[in-house]
Structure formats: structure tokens, C-alpha cells
Amino acid sequence: MAERVCPWWMGYFLLGPFRKISENPRKILAPFVENGMKVLEPGCGMGFFTLEAARLAGPQGRVYAIDLQPRMISALKRRVRRAGLSDVVEARLCPAETLGVEDLAGSIDLALALFLVHEVPDPGAFFREMRQALRPGGKCLIVEPAGHVSGEAFEATLDDACGAGFAVSPGPGLGKNHTAVLERG
């Protein structure tokens, strides 16, 4: 599902401490991730959000972190191991044309599409797969960077989500980023 993929080496820059000032993973995820939840995070990269999602989901929860780049997944696995979260995070390598989450159908409480959808060549197919993975009433948090994604492009993304069967609500205020919360009916 890759079109304009963030290069693997950029993953190290995205883990930097300055990013936590404007995009603090705990502040972004805490209103959405609860203890015991099953969370799906496609495009996880090296785990900037993954580790915090796992801490919030707790030992009874599960985070399925998916990326199509082997180097991103390798770095994520090292970070997960060092953080002692191996029992919570399942890192998966996906092919370029699908998320490969058929086995999770109807089981995910929360999906995260964080700084990702603008890299996906077919957002409609992406949202259909995300919806299939979510349980009824499950939610998806979308955050897109205003620097890469115009307001019009974000509206088109939300149209794709609606076309996949999601109800759209405004997301949290995160600086200039575009946000929305989707819900599977």
C-alpha cells in the first residue's frame, strides 16, 4: 500500500526528543487507548507511538504494529524488547498492497492512522481494511501533517473513509495537524 513512503533512515529522526514536544505520544493517545484494548497501528515505523500505545493498553492489551519496511520493523522490535513490552506488541511486516490483517477481523478496539494516509496509494482500500479489522463501535484516530496534506486533501481522505463505511467526527486539536475520529457502525 506504499506510494510515497518515508525512507527507513528517517525513522531515526522521527524518534528524536524534539518531536515529543509538539507530538507527545502520551498526550495524543491517552484519551483513546485504555487498559486491555487491542490496537492496530499500520505505518508504525520505528515505534514513536507504538511504545506508548502498548504502555497504555497494559499487559492485558495488544498492539499490532505493522509496517512494510523490514528495517523499520527490525528497529521497532529492538525498541519493544528494550522497553520490556514484547508481550504486548506484535510487530508485523506487511506487503505493499495490503495491511495483511484478515486474521484480526472484527477484533480491534482502536486503529491508529498517524501521519500515514498521505503515503497510501489507495485510501479507500486502506479504510476498508481498517474497518474490517475493527469491532462494531471501534474507532480510528487519523492525524495528518498540515505541511504535507492540504485541507482539501484531508477532506478527500475523510470522503474515502465515509465511502468505506465510517462515521466521521472531529478529532483532537493537535497544532496545525488535521485530525478526525472515525467510528465503525
pLDDT digit string (tens) for 165-178? 999 999 999 889 99
What's the mean pLDDT in 50-63? 98
- Return the closest-CA partner of residue 2 out of 179, 91, 120, 102: 120
Mean pLDDT within 123-136: 97
Cell of 21: 514536544
CB 29 within 8 A of CB 54: no
pLDDT value at position 8? Answer: 61
Q: With 90 as the cut, is the pLDDT of residue 9 above it?
A: no
How many of the other CB atoms lie within 10 Å of CB of 106? 12
Q: In what order do the strands lie in the sheet with 38-42?
A: 89-93, 62-67, 38-42, 108-114, 134-144, 178-184, 166-170
What's the mean pLDDT when you consider all of the chain?
A: 91
Share of the chain above pLDDT 90, in %: 76
Tens of pLDDT, residue by residue over 146-162, are 988 999 999 999 999 99
pTM score, whole prediction? 0.90
The C-alpha cell that represents 63 in the structure block: 498492539
More confident residue, 121 or 137: 137
pLDDT tens digits, 80-100: 999 999 999 999 999 888 999
Q: How far is CA 29 from CA 7, 55, 151, 159, in A?
A: 25, 10, 23, 24
pLDDT at 109 (0 to 100) = 99
In this predicted structure, what is the pLDDT of residue 1? 42
- Residue 35 has a pLDDT of 98
Asked whether residue 124 carries a pLDDT value surpassing 80, the answer given is yes
Every domain of the chain and the residues it spans: 10-184
DSSP 112-153: EEES-GGG-S-HHHHHHHHHHHEEEEEEEEEEE-TTTS-HHH
* Answer CATH for 10-184 from 1.10.510.10, 2.40.50.140, 3.40.50.150, 1.10.3720.10: 3.40.50.150
